[in-house]
Amino acid sequence: MTEKEICTTTWEREFQTTLKVLKAYPPDKLDLKPAEESKSTKDFAWVFAIEENVVRESAKGGWIS
């Protein structure tokens, strides 16, 4: 298995796990922060969405060899 395949497989597995957690999260708690200086759950969900897109695009575009 190539490094690209390992990265893609690992990312896909972690993405599915993260998606399950986010779907199970109570909608009325999206502004919850573990500490005042922390990001909210809503902010983390946005970061995860952006990261997922970046990884997919980089894998398609050959940025990961």
Alpha carbons 35 and 15: distance in angstroms, whole number: 25
Helix (H), strand (E) at residue 2: none
What is the CA angle 46-52-19, rounded to 5? 70
pLDDT tens readout for residues 18-33: 889 888 888 898 898 8
The candidate with the shortest Cα–Cα distance to 23, out of 35, 31, 15, 34, is 15
Q: Mean pLDDT over residues 21-46, rounded?
A: 87
What is the model's pLDDT at position 13? Answer: 92
